[in-house]
Chain A
Amino acid sequence: MFGLNKIIPVEPNINFLKLRKNFLIFSIIAIFLSICLLSIKGLNLGIDFKGGTLIEVSTKNTSIGEMRDLLSSTYNDVSLQEFGDENIILIRLQNKSNQESIETVNSVKELISDKVIEFRRSEFVGPTISSELLFRGFQAVSFALIAILIYIWLRFEWQFGFGAVVALTHDVLFTLGLLSILNIEFSLSTIAAILTIAGYSINDTVVIFDRVRENLRKYKKMELVDLFNLSVNNTLSRTIMTSLTTLLALLSLFIFGGEVIRPFALTMIIGVVIGTYSSVFIAVPTLLIFKFRPQDEDD
């Protein structure tokens, strides 16, 4: 009809695995840098995991500078930030004991009340809760990874499971590394984003692996490298299409979804790109480590 689908040839023949060494080196460097960043710089933990107080206000006839002057004379650990709009200001206070924090919130609110149209949001996470949330988030991600792996292992041969683990670990670490370098806030919704990325990346990998398995049965004589290449090519237009539609939806969320959801959308966009990349360039080449057929011994 419109013929746009012809951009991606029906039977593409791109040699994805030819450059696999380059991509492997690229990914190893990226992962190494991510681990360095995570251990040195760390993540920009939001109050969910660091604890503390956050107040979002819409203001009138004032500026962030004036608000800062007003508050920093009384509180030395206060930080202010415009939030999407110059009239909307985010005030963060560091963590203290539970009781103290609640009292601080009250007095901050009183101090600025004549400059404020509305207290849009106020969040307080105590020290015990933030460490619990961090632990539970970590638990959720670990269990999800393990459960996904068990599923892959049951549905495919174990070698595929290994390829999936490598790709998935790659995705999570790479995404976290980018979150660290871009200083994107790490909150509860980031955990949700990471889990969804894991699900998405595996989804992508599974579709390609499905095809690898099918082709392994179909072309018993084909060289493994060629067979893997063929499988990636077979599924290429689907991989591109699904990534693009997902990215379109995420982009819409990023631009129009509001300030609160923006870090989530950005994390997801990063993750979808990395997940798509890893399915093709990491997961599939990893399978080359294994000999799937007796005759491969001769190679």
Chain B
Amino acid sequence: MKNYPIWKSFTVISLVLLGIIFSIPSIIYDDNSDNWFLKNKINLGLDLQGGSYLLLEVQLEVLYKEELENFSDSIRLLARDNSVKINKVTVNQNDIKVIFDNNNKIDEIKNSFIQMYRGVGLIVNENILTIKLDDLYKKTIQDSAIKQSLEIVRKRIDESGTKEPLIQRSGKKRILLQLPGVKDPERIKELLGKTAKLTFHLVDDENAAALNANIEPFGKMIIADIYDEDIKYLLDKRALVGGENLVDAKGSFDQTEGHAVSFRFDTEGAQKFGKITSNNIGNRLAVVLDGVVITAPRINSAITGGSGIITGNFNAQEAADLAVLLRAGALPAPLEIVEERSVGAGLGADSIAAGQIAAIIGMVLVCIFMILIYGIFGALANVSLIVNLFIIISLLGTIGATLTLPGIAGIVLTIGMAVDANVLIFERIKEESLKQTKVFQIVKTGFDRAMSTILDANITTLIAAVLLFAFGSGPIRGFSITLSLGVIASMFTALMLTNFLVYIYLSFSNKKELKL
């Protein structure tokens, strides 16, 4: 072949072959194959395969408030130890203000407090002590809370039997979940919606006056029953043992009590539990879950085996779910769902089918149009266009990109836009054919002249696509990926493949003049 270097033909042909070969896995789409080659297939996004996308926000405010309350409790204890009377404690959004009776011992209290909570800012003003929750301290709380939440969410999702979930931190205080193939997102939401903080507290049945007046004495708290808000319990604020000491929990069925959750403590928990139950026979022990009392049975005998059951008016599902929550452990703070996008498998399949039809029809229309306008040259451009599509598919498959519905739109759009480079070249050739007579020279000038225009024109589209990727989210990113790949592939197919095909055609047809 005249004027065409062998290395160039070799490069073009091998790239085209690679493109076609590596699009095979995505076209066959064998889900279960472990073959290394067949694994190079396109990942379908949740909007195409069905599944749930959830964005959860860790309610850090709850934690900050909790920490401030801890401060307040500690200060009260310190004041008592130092025999100073506290006139008033105000808990604000970001700090607490403690007004002491006098300022005799205020420095001692301050120093002991700093020993307990490092990094907290304290300001003393006469007999007023202000304890601030500053940004650095908040960040420490935030980071550990997110880390812990991620771990617990992961455990709960694993327990729910979801395959290949994606769980990751998103921004400062959010957790992003992608759950492919989840049919019942409600159950997942249910599982994530509970903090599942389980604690055991002794019930104070002596102080009925406080309970009736609804005033919590220091060190006690009033908590409602899960089934009847009017039933209140006065409990020791200090938890005797908690969910963190559980090693196992599962749903069980008790002949007399119905569905229940049976649990087992670790060694430490079992010892504590044994001690409590043997010291408090005759008293009631409340099981508190997320701020409500599930049950408060009387301790009839010491329980030293380290296991027990929690009863309540559970049904089988509720008991099983509670067991899952207890096994996975408690979230440090409640999670709020701030965004949800769930797609059923039916819609996903419909979208794929519609996308395929649109792509094929778009392709056929463009191909017919190109042949009508440019004849043989149009047909050559069509070969490039088809190869272009293979290359996009193979690139998506090998880089492990995710194909979404907007991504399919990007491919269809690319089909229309990819011929642009060919059109630019052909128009240049057309112009040159009016000025020159040597066929190969015309083609060469045409390609050379069109080159810089093609680059300029495509780079602007690439800029838009890249920024879309940077700022876009989820499915929209899929669009920017296919658009970028399409633009890049179209430059290759036009400048190299069409070029190659045109040279072959001209060499074999032996044309003496060029009519486009």
Contacts of A189 in B (CB 8 A): 406, 409, 475-476, 479
Surface stretch bound by B, among A28-36, A98-106, A221-229: A98-106
Given contacts A102-B189, A144-B468, A241-B423, contact A206 B456 (CB under 8 A): yes
Known: A196-B413, A252-B412. A258 touches B480 (CB 8 A): no
Is B416 located at the chain interface by the 8 A CB criterion? yes
State in angstroms the CA–CA spacing of A244 and B372 once bound together: 13
What chain B residues lie within 8 Å of A58 (beta carbons)? 346
User: Is A171 engaged at the interface, CB distance under 8 Å to the other chain?
Assistant: no
Which of B57, B339, B473 touches A136 (beta carbons < 8 Å)?
B473
Q: Considering only CB atoms, which chain A residue lies closest to B190 in the complex?
A: A106
Q: CB-CB < 8 A to A242: which residues of B?
A: 417, 419-420, 423
* Interface residues of B, Cβ cutoff 8 Å to A: 55, 57, 185-186, 189, 193, 336-344, 346-347, 350-351, 354-355, 357-359, 361-363, 365-366, 369-376, 405-406, 408-409, 412-413, 415-417, 419-420, 423-424, 427, 430-431, 434, 452-453, 456-465, 467-468, 470-473, 475-476, 479-480, 483, 515-516
B406 touching A192, Cβ below 8 Å: yes
- Do the beta carbons of B339 and A199 come within 8 Å of each other? no
Query: What residues on B are CB-neighbors of A202 within 8 Å?
Result: 460-461
Asked if B340 and A136 make an inter-chain contact with CB atoms under 8 angstroms apart, the answer reads: no
Contacts of A11 in B (CB 8 A): 434
Instruction: Please provide the 7 A-B residue pairs with the shortest distance between their CB atoms, ordered closest to farther.
Output: A1-B375, A249-B416, A258-B354, A199-B464, A140-B471, A252-B362, A246-B416
Distance in angstroms from A95 CB to nearest chain B CB is 12
Nearest CB to that of A106 among chain B residues?
Answer: B186
Taking the nearest CB of chain A, how far is it from the CB of B178, in angstroms? 15
Q: Which residues of B contact A244 (CB under 8 A)?
A: 369
Partner of B362, one of A102, A188, A196, A253: A253
Q: CA of A199 to CA of B487 in the docked complex: distance in angstroms?
A: 11
On chain B, the residues within 8 Å of A136 by CB distance are: 471-473
Chain A residue numbers with a CB within 8 Å of B375 are 1-2
Chain B residues with CB under 8 Å of A247's CB are 416
| A204-232 contact mask (Cβ, 8 Å, vs B): 1 or 0 | 10110011000000000000000000000
Contact A261:B457 (CB < 8 A) given known A129-B338, A237-B427, A245-B419: no
A-B contact pairs, 8 of them (CB 8 A): A1-B376, A122-B341, A124-B337, A207-B453, A249-B412, A257-B354, A258-B351, A261-B406
**B456 and A120 within 8 A (CB):** no
Interface centre among B413, B460, B461, B462, by most A CB within 10 Å?
B460
- Tell me if A123 and B340 are in contact (CB < 8 A): yes
| Contact yes or no, A121 B342, CB < 8 A | yes
Q: Which of A255-280 contact B (CB under 8 A)?
A: 255-258, 260-261, 264-265, 268
Q: Are A238 and B424 in contact (CB under 8 A)?
A: yes
Quick check: A144 and B463 within 8 Å, CB to CB? yes
- Bound complex: CA A246 to CA B347 (Å): 27
CB pair A203–B374 under 8 Å, yes or no, is no
CA distance A250 to B470 in the complex (A): 25
- CA of A121 to CA of B340, assembled, Å: 10
Cβ of A279 to closest chain B Cβ, rounded Å: 11
Q: Which residue in chain A gives the minimum CB-CB distance to B418?
A: A245
Binds B, one of A38-46, A59-67, A72-80, A147-155: A147-155
Structural contact, A210 and B479, CB atoms closer than 8 A = no
* Complex Cα spacing A102 to B479, Å: 29
Q: Known interface pairs A2-B371, A133-B473, A136-B471. Does A203 touch B420 (Cβ–Cβ under 8 Å)?
A: yes
Residue of A whose beta carbon sits closest to that of B357: A256
Q: Interface centre among A4, A204, A253, A256, by most B CB within 10 Å?
A: A253
Interface of A is mostly: helix
Docked complex Cα distance between A119 and B343 (Å): 8
- Asked whether A140 and B358 contact (CB < 8 A) given A199-B461, A241-B423, A257-B412, the answer is no
A295 CB-CB contact with B under 8 Å: no
Determine the residue in chain B with the shortest Cβ distance to A1. Answer: B375
How many of chain A's residues have a CB under 8 angstroms from any CB in B? 77
Residue of B358, B369, B376 touching A256 (CB-CB under 8 A): B358
> With A124-B340, A252-B362 given, is the CB distance from A5 to B374 under 8 Å?
yes
The reply to whether B480 and A121 form a contact with Cβ atoms under 8 Å apart is no
Q: Would A151 and B460 be within 8 Å (CB), given that A56-B347, A121-B344, A122-B185 are in contact?
A: yes
Q: Is the CB of A203 within 8 A of B461?
A: yes
The residues of A that contact B189 with a CB separation of less than 8 Å are 102
For residue A120, which residues in chain B have a CB less than 8 angstroms away from its CB?
Answer: 343-344, 346-347
Contact across chains for A199 and B427 when beta carbons are under 8 A apart: no
- A258 to B471, Cβ gap below 8 A? no
B374 contact set on A, CB distance < 8 A: 1, 5
Q: Are A257 and B409 interface neighbours, CB within 8 A?
A: yes
- A241/B373 in contact, CB under 8 A: yes
Candidates A122, A137, A196; contact of B471 at CB < 8 Å: A137
Say which residue of A122, A253, A265 sits within 8 Å of B342 (CB atoms): A122
Residue among A195, A207, A245 making CB contact with B468, cutoff 8 Å: A195
- Once A144-B468, A242-B417 are accepted as A-B contacts, the answer to whether A248 and B365 lie under 8 Å apart by CB is yes
* Chain B hits for A152, CB < 8 A: 460
Closest chain A residue to B344 by CB distance?
Answer: A120
Q: Is A125 an interface residue (CB 8 A)?
A: yes
Q: Is B459 within 8 A of A151, CB to CB?
A: yes
Q: Is the CB of B185 within 8 A of A191?
A: no
A158 proximal to B (CB < 8 A): no
A16 to B483, alpha carbons, bound, how many Å?
32
Q: Does A175 contact B (CB under 8 A)?
A: no
Tell me whether A192 and B468 are in contact (CB under 8 A). Answer: yes
A242 to B339, CA, bound (A): 39
Closest to A7 in B: B373
Cα(A56)–Cα(B347), bound, Å: 9
CB <8 Å contact, A246 and B346: no
Q: Which one of A109, A143, A191 contacts B186 once the chains associate, using CB atoms below 8 Å?
A: A109
